[in-house]
Chains A and B, each alone.
Chain A
Amino acid sequence: NAGVTQTPKFRILKIGQSMTLQCTQDMNHNYMYWYRQDPGMGLKLIYYSVGAGITDKGEVPNGYNVSRSTTEDFPLRLELAAPSQTSVYFCASSYNRVSGNTIYFGEGSWLTVV
């Protein structure tokens, strides 16, 4: 079972460059999320989506954009990369919003902006 798949695993960007982190899930989950995790810290929600065509901002959306054209895919776009965006990015999904539902995470994408 693939679950949640993220690419790339590692990436180094120069300041001002742009890139897209890809995320796909094969569990037919409605809900998808992007989190960032700074070293030694918890997870901060960047954006989330409740279904194809619907996205909304999380706690730290500035400098990022998302789209959800299909149920399976939820790419995260970084525009004009800044050193403050150096972090580990996790894509996640869950079946529905019923309290206590399990969130499944990808393995993470390590991004360094220099």
Chain B
Amino acid sequence: TQLLEQSPQFLSIQEGENLTVYCNSSSVFSSLQWYRQEPGEGPVLLVTVVTGGEVKKLKRLTFQFGDARKDSSLHITAAQPGDTGLYLCATHSGTYKYIFGTGTRLKVLA
């Protein structure tokens, strides 16, 4: 069973700071997705990365897929309070299952 480990588990930063969160596995990903979950809601897809070394940008968020497709990172530039939430990576495991990482809970203080 493929496991997705995310780090750090918790992160509290001041508005305007930069941060990076990581998603790692011992197995190769076919693809990887990043979701954000706000309190009281279900996760919402941010991005999908498919190719090793791929970099995608979504406004102040930069997503990178490792060359070997075993890890991924999410970098947020100049964090804002609206970025607060739980960030989850997810991938396809086996034939039909999507599994999620352990999550990084981010709090951005104004």
CA distance A48 to B96 in the complex (A): 8
A53 within 8 Å of B by Cβ?
Answer: no
Residues of A within 8 A of B92 (CB): 97, 99-100
Q: Is A45 a contact of B99 with CB atoms below 8 Å?
A: yes
CA distance A69 to B43 in the complex (A): 26
Q: Is A42 a contact of B105 with CB atoms below 8 Å?
A: no
B side interface size, CB within 8 A = 27
Q: How many inter-chain contacts with C-beta < 8 Å in the A-B complex? A: 64
Chain A residues engaging chain B, CB cutoff 8 angstroms: 4, 31, 33, 35, 40-45, 48, 50, 56, 58-59, 90, 92, 94, 97, 99-100, 102-103, 105-108
User: 28 A-B residue contacts at CB 8 Å?
Assistant: A4-B42, A33-B98, A40-B103, A41-B102, A42-B4, A43-B88, A44-B100, A45-B97, A45-B98, A48-B97, A56-B96, A58-B97, A59-B1, A90-B43, A94-B98, A97-B92, A97-B96, A100-B31, A102-B45, A102-B48, A103-B33, A105-B43, A106-B42, A107-B40, A107-B42, A108-B40, A108-B41, A108-B42
